[in-house]
Structure 1
Amino acid sequence: MTVSKKLFEQIKLLIPPLNGTLHKGQAGRVAVLGGALDYTGAPFFASISALRTGADLSHVICSPTAGGAIKSYSPDLIVHPILREEIHPPDLESTIDGLLSRLHVLIIGPGLGREDYMQAFARLTLTLAKKQDMYVVLDADALWMVQKDPETIKGYPKAVLTPNLVEFKRLCEALNIDPKSDPKTIASRVSLALGGVTILQKGASDIISVKTPDSASEHQDETVEVDVPGGSKRCGGQGDILSGIVGTFLAWGKNYENGVYGEPKFGSTRIPILSAVAGCLVMRTTSRRAFEKEGRGVVTQDMLPEIGVAFSEVFGAGSFGGEKEQKARS
């Protein structure tokens, strides 16, 4: 199923107005947990993409071995190099909990790595985020964590998982689902096996699916395919940009849920799938625009300046900041 007009109009309701009525932070406060010794680019791409999409503030929670490099990439990011290998994770619980209390969404995985101490911090932070009812995005090595222990995210409806081809295959195997099953329904089966989390299966076309158990209070069974043209070259780091874009829409969704942008017209259960679809639309358009300029030599860095213009291409010039937008919301 492709993106319907109704779904597209619901996505637009999540976008904050650009009319001077909001104060700093009300257009989204995002955090990325990731960044260890060998991985500094991924958390940078995810966090800076959140800002390029329109989030107000973007934080990176990382290891000190990555913090200096990430700080040097951009002064716009708020970097917290607190994930020290020698610290027992529970000793940082109050610090991380206090940080999360000031945020709307948590992205776990870009540059996380598989070292035991980083995985332990990821599990702790995810637990705290769930207690605070935050929206979360799990990507990259956060999916390794889920593969090893699906219970870490099972049944949490405010989660979006963004596996690529290899990660999706491993996730299927961990859940005893044949990776060669019907491609039209397999993402739905993974969502159901994980208790109704939203699955964003990246590929030639992106499949976004959520299927909750029949016993769920708000049962959902929806699959959307996003096949708008993207670039012809797949760059490492492109998935990190997608995570940042999806995270921003989820942050906006949190504020929408709380009535910051006006009276909500649908429930919070819609927000993960709407945010995932929106992220795919913007990311694929961003990739296409960058490829049109750079061709075979395109790198992930080339995509960053294209995010804002891609956003306007998808959702309209001005992106709902003026009088027309206000009338549409009223």
Structure 2
Amino acid sequence: MMMVEDIRGELDEVTAEEMAIIDENSEYLGVPRLLLMENAGRSVAEIIEQKVGVKNKKIVIVAGRGNKGGDGFTAARHIACRGGSPTVILIGRGGDIEGQEAKYNWEIIKRMDSSIKLIELGSYIDLAKLKAELDNADVIVDALIGTGLRGPLREPLLSIVKLINSCRAFKVAIDVPTGVNPSTGEIHGEAVKANVTVTMHKPKKGLRGNEQYTGEVIVANIGAPPEAEVIVGPGDVRFTIRRRHPESKKGDWGRVLIVGGGWQYSGAPALAALAALRGGCDLAVVVAPSSVSNAIRGFSPNLIVREVEGFKITLKHVDEIIRIAENLDCIVIGPGIGVDDEVFEAVRLIIEKLRSIGKPMVIDADGLKALVGHLDVVKGANAVLTPHAGEFRRLFDVDLKGSWIDKARIVINVARKHEVTLLVKAHPEDVISDGIRVKVNMTGNPAMTVGGTGDVLTGLTASILSKKIPCLRAAAAASFICGAAGSLAAEEKGYHILATDLLEKIPEVLKRFEPWVSGLSTVLEKRRV
């Protein structure tokens, strides 16, 4: 029987962002972050006990106000439970602690004043007071800043790190030594030089090659489910959404081109374009034959339609389409474009030209039919292919069978062979892979078998890709959002939803990941003279 371990792909190390996604997806799967923090702190205490002991030792935990500080608070409790008498020095004030889990554990250790000594340094950091505590320490635990580090250390952290390094104590870093970029390994001016680094769940990429700072690296199992690396969850969506700058202008947040439509189909390209807009891109342009361009315009005044002469897209239109595409961020090829040989020839040439300039693409529907027997055209392209199970079989001559784990193994192997990202609608799950990693989305419901939902998924994927998000990330997030929108629509309308109902629910899904938007409605009151 295949296990999740068999399909997790090449994830021996993780970036800070990948770890944050795993944390959030663990909670989505039912493992609270509070439990992850509990296990992290316990692991740190256990390793200190194994390495140097905790009884009759002066153990000083220097803690920041974030989650790494929360791990330190939890470690202090577990050290006390093992007979130690730790000191926790908070760099800042308890009221400024960030994150519910860290606050929760801070409140616990505040009540443990007979076994844990607490020192709040407040807004003014008294380095002399800190030095007096550290000079006589047997063990110093670095619980300052971990995967949240974004740039060079500033004062007072820089001086605190130098002070820690000047001490003779045995030093233990939680997750990543403060000052080491967890994703790149860059040293931000100064970094804690630890004897042991206890890193959570998986080694962080920035630890490799930094042995002078990390010392011995021990990976602690904190109880994050293996499925949290594979199942698409809210974490995968959150890290594709960026807060917009006040000075943002039209086009900064993505411009999508949809190449599609023909004398038989006008709805497919319109749905894809509207989904791209609902996904947050600034502009959605449809290139379509003149025979259908007015019908597409009629769907919504929000669409820009560029027409090319004739009843279908052919080779004579390719150069014009490429000129338009060069100024846009992501290209969708296929919705409703038609299935005759002339069209297929044009589709393949468009893909070849876009591949040569590295333009992100989403290839769907009739665009996939054009690739049957011509997969070399798309090999190595910066593209997402979105076949359903039948199209997958026709494209790759492979049946998708078995459990979701079996399907994931099949898809990752096919994606690796053809050097392309696949978003396979495998029913009831979607399987996404770039040949290195694989993700499986389980949102959605049987009501989404209605026509047009695939076009919505395609447009969403393109919208996220247009914001410079990598193919795997974009496809996984789009799959989750589309399925969640479908479930919200089904809650309201049962099995009687339309693809357009998904369009209306996409903002409802996305707004849950945009807490900053909720304050925008007060802008008039704030600026009233």
Is TM more than 0.5 here?
yes
Alignment of 1:201-280 (within 5 A): 201-202=424-425, 203-211=427-435, 221-230=436-445, 232-253=447-468, 271-280=470-479
Contact 2:447 2:497 survives alignment (8 Å): no
Greater RCO (CA < 8 Å, at least 6 residues apart):
1
Distance, in Å, in 2 between the alignment partners of 1:224 and 1:235 is 24
Contact 1:110 1:139 survives alignment (8 Å): yes
Identity percentage of aligned residues: 29
Residue 148 of structure 1 aligns to a residue in which SS?
Answer: coil
- Report the counterpart of residue 256 of structure 2 in structure 1: 30
Give the counterpart letter for 2:22 in structure 1: S
Contact 1:18 1:320 survives alignment (8 Å): no
Instruction: State the number of aligned residues.
Output: 290
Query: Structure 2 residue aligned with 1:160, among 384, 390, 393?
Result: 384
Contact 1:160 1:276 survives alignment (8 Å): yes
Residue 224 of structure 1 aligns to a residue in which SS?
Answer: strand
* Corresponding position: 1:17 with 2:240: no
Alignment of 1:282-321 (within 5 A): 282-313=481-512, 315-318=513-516
TM-score, normalised with respect to structure 1: 0.80
Contact 2:236 2:476 survives alignment (8 Å): no
- Report the counterpart of residue 276 of structure 2 in structure 1: 50
- Report the counterpart of residue 192 of structure 2 in structure 1: none
Distance, in Å, in 2 between the alignment partners of 1:31 and 1:44 is 11
Distance, in Å, in 2 between the alignment partners of 1:127 and 1:198 is 16
Structure 1's 24 and 99: CA in aligned 2 closer, same or farther, altered over 3 A? same
Alignment of 1:175-214 (within 5 A): 177-180=398-401, 182-194=406-418, 196-202=419-425, 203-211=427-435
Query: Structure 2 residue aligned with 1:114, among 339, 344, 359?
Result: 339
Structure 1's 243 and 86: CA in aligned 2 closer, same or farther, altered over 3 A? closer
1:319 positional shift? 6.2
Residue 407 of structure 2 aligns to a residue in which SS?
Answer: coil
* Cα deviation code 1:266-293 (max 9, x no counterpart): xxxxx10000011011100110111111
Query: Structure 1 residue aligned with 2:317, among 75, 92, 107?
Result: 92
Contact 2:277 2:284 survives alignment (8 Å): yes
Structure 1's 282 and 231: CA in aligned 2 closer, same or farther, altered over 3 A? farther
Residue 253 of structure 1 aligns to a residue in which SS?
Answer: coil
Structure 1's 56 and 112: CA in aligned 2 closer, same or farther, altered over 3 A? same
Query: Structure 2 residue aligned with 1:4, among 18, 22, 26?
Result: 22
Residue 184 of structure 1 aligns to a residue in which SS?
Answer: helix
1:296 positional shift? 2.3
1:82 positional shift? 0.7
Distance, in Å, in 2 between the alignment partners of 1:117 and 1:83 is 15
- Report the counterpart of residue 297 of structure 2 in structure 1: 71
Which of these two proteins has the greater Rg computed from alpha carbons?
2
* Corresponding position: 1:60 with 2:283: no
Distance, in Å, in 2 between the alignment partners of 1:74 and 1:29 is 17
| Worse overlay, 200-209 or 230-239 | 230-239
TM-score, normalised with respect to structure 2: 0.51
Structure 1's 4 and 151: CA in aligned 2 closer, same or farther, altered over 3 A? same
Residue 81 of structure 1 aligns to a residue in which SS?
Answer: strand
Distance, in Å, in 2 between the alignment partners of 1:49 and 1:140 is 16
1:159 positional shift? 0.8
Which residues of structure 2 form unaligned runs of 5+?
A: 9-20, 25-228, 521-529
* Cα deviation code 1:124-179 (max 9, x no counterpart): 221221222111011111111112311110122x1111111211121231xxx454
Distance, in Å, in 1 between the alignment partners of 2:433 and 2:285 is 28
Which residues of structure 1 form unaligned runs of 5+?
A: 212-220, 255-270, 323-330
Distance, in Å, in 1 between the alignment partners of 2:251 and 2:239 is 18
- Report the counterpart of residue 27 of structure 2 in structure 1: none
1:190 positional shift? 1.5
* Cα deviation code 1:86-120 (max 9, x no counterpart): 8862x434422221111000011111120233223
- Report the counterpart of residue 260 of structure 1 in structure 2: none
CA RMSD of aligned residues (A): 2.5
Contact 1:33 1:122 survives alignment (8 Å): no
Give the counterpart letter for 2:500 in structure 1: Q
Structure 1's 73 and 178: CA in aligned 2 closer, same or farther, altered over 3 A? closer
- Report the counterpart of residue 125 of structure 2 in structure 1: none
1:321 positional shift? 9.3
Distance, in Å, in 1 between the alignment partners of 2:492 and 2:318 is 45
Contact 1:15 1:252 survives alignment (8 Å): no
Distance, in Å, in 2 between the alignment partners of 1:86 and 1:226 is 35
Distance, in Å, in 2 between the alignment partners of 1:27 and 1:197 is 25
Distance, in Å, in 1 between the alignment partners of 2:313 and 2:363 is 24
1:41 positional shift? 0.7
Give the counterpart letter for 1:104 in structure 2: D
